[in-house]
Amino acid sequence: MNYTFFMLPLSIMGNAERGSDESGNFVMLNGVKIYRLHLVGTVAALELNEESGSGYIILDDTFSTMLVHFQKPLFNLFKEIQKGSLVEVLGTIDVYNESATLELNNIKKVDMVRYTYNKLESIKNLKELSK
């Protein structure tokens, strides 16, 4: 099952069990395998390699950070994104150096209203998942 979870705080990712099966890498929270995440945060760092068309960002949601990496097809999305940008990201769980990371599927800049709404949703979703 390719389960996408929308809006969770990044801080819970550090304690989540990580694994892999025929559907791919996942994190498990309260018995739910999560293969994809939709997150919101601030770009704390941005590294672009124009030669290879790849790079990464460090996504910060004020409580924790996560490495989000991407390849050539998504490189052009970063023309408007810079350090300090508020963004929404959608990505597939990946594991790098035994840490959960995100392989980027999509990214977009958001305004403060959307950012705040998504932060509230992440708290609500965490409560739902904790039941």
Please give the tally of structural domains in the chain: 1
Q: What is the pLDDT of residues 85-108, one digit of tens each?
A: 999 999 999 877 777 889 999 999
Q: What is the pLDDT of residues 29-84, one digit of tens each?
A: 878 888 888 889 999 999 999 899 899 999 998 888 999 999 888 888 888 899 99
Laid out side by side, the sheet with 32-34 consists of 17-21, 24-29, 32-34
Residue 127 domain flag: no
pTM: 0.84
* pLDDT for 1 beyond 60: no
Residue 19 domain flag: yes
Residue 31 domain flag: yes
Distance CA 91, CA 75 (A): 14
Residue 128 domain flag: no
What CATH number did the domain enclosing 66 receive?
2.40.50.140
Residue 129 domain flag: no
pLDDT bin (cut points 50, 70, 90) of residue 3 is low
Residue 131 domain flag: no
Domain with 63, as residue range(s), is 4-122
Q: How many CB atoms lie within 10 A of CB 124?
A: 11
